[in-house]
Amino acid sequence: MKDKNLIVLTLVLLLCASCDKGEQMTLSGLNVRDFHTQVNGQLTNLFVLKNKNGMEACVTNYGARLVSLMVPDRNGKLEDVVCGYPTIADYMAQKQNFGATIGRYIGRIHHSTFTLDSITYKLTPNTGPHCAHGGPSGFAYKIWQAEQLDQSALKLTLFSPDGESGFPGNLQVYLIYKLTDDNALDIHYEAQTDKPTVVNLSHHSFFNLSGDLTTSVEDQLLYINADAYTPYDSLKCVTGEIVPVAGTPFDFTTAHTIGERIDEEVMQLTVTKGYDHNWVLNTKGDETKPAARLIDRKSGRSLEVYTNEPGLQVYTANGLRGAMIGKKGIAYQKRSAVCLETQHFADSPNQPQFPSTVLRPGQKYESHCVYRFGTVIAK
């Protein structure tokens, strides 16, 4: 009996010691305390969302980033399906868009310049002469204000001042992450401005439905509900054309593996070393129709994307090279994930034939993206 009491006392002391350190472990293996820091007087944190089915999403207010997402396979096994880092220090030390909210403008604005209402705005370049993903002061590197609405929903807000990275207008941004009971990660954006400006927000998670982030996604099946895409020139700048996908490696109107045609010797693929392109969706804002579907046949996990946006950027993580060490000590390799970014098109402010990204005072910018997870029967 004494031995039993000693064991109980030891366990209690260990638990108390853990509590004193402020440790709170998530289902995905993250320590919430590792996301506590202060940047310019603003605090960072990690917020945990859950649904009734046991799914878990972890979000930090640094860049309004999704850090981990636990999703069941066909047997109910929960695994993390997104790339990310285990601490806030890692996110700040390594400039990568894992799970980030991108703004003010996802994609490139050519030569960091656009004209609106006869006024020419010069943006801050950060990709050669171009301004990409909002420039060096993009939203992915901002501390957002966070309010957990309930166990399944998180509201994040950000104020971007007039002139930040050269963009006009004081912009107020609102974002809600919700983990729904039909196993979807629902992302809703709103924004308002006091001057005419351009806005194009998106989510930048790197997905691997297998749950094994050491593996390639090239064997996963992809369907894209799009008959056209926006091609690049030899410098990876959009040409302004809208080109049919039929007869090209960009035709995913019938599902096939990501890797089936990814290495074909065509300029559009060699310039990006894989897929990193915007597809022009057939859905035309209809959120009842899937914009894309991704399936990992081994685990049985599936992902459907729904959006009111006109485009979907698909990026097959061609730039990962094993140099970035993420959660569980995994060195993320080339094509170990795929990004499915709902958006307007790159360089729209300079391409009047593209859907407009202009936002004016009195208008409300609204963008909606739903990542709905499910399972398929083994084949």
∠ Cα 308 314 319 (to 5°): 145
C-alpha pair distances (Å), 228 with each of 90, 305, 311, 339: 38, 18, 10, 19
Nearest to 230 by CA among 242, 221, 246: 242
Given a contact cutoff of 8 angstroms between Cβ atoms, the answer to whether 198 and 348 are in contact is yes
Q: What is the DSSP letter of 5?
A: H
Output the DSSP codes for 189-237: EEEEESS-EE-B-EEE--B-TTS-TTS-STTSEEEE-EEEEE-B-TTS-
> Which positions are annotated as active-site residues?
204, 341
Q: Is the previous residue joined to 104 through a cis bond, with omega within 30 degrees of 0?
A: yes
- Burial class of residue 120 in the structure, from the number of CB atoms within 10 Å of its CB (0-12 exposed, 13-18 middle, 19+ buried): exposed
Given a contact cutoff of 8 angstroms between Cβ atoms, the answer to whether 175 and 187 are in contact is yes
Residue whose token pair is 């170990």: 336
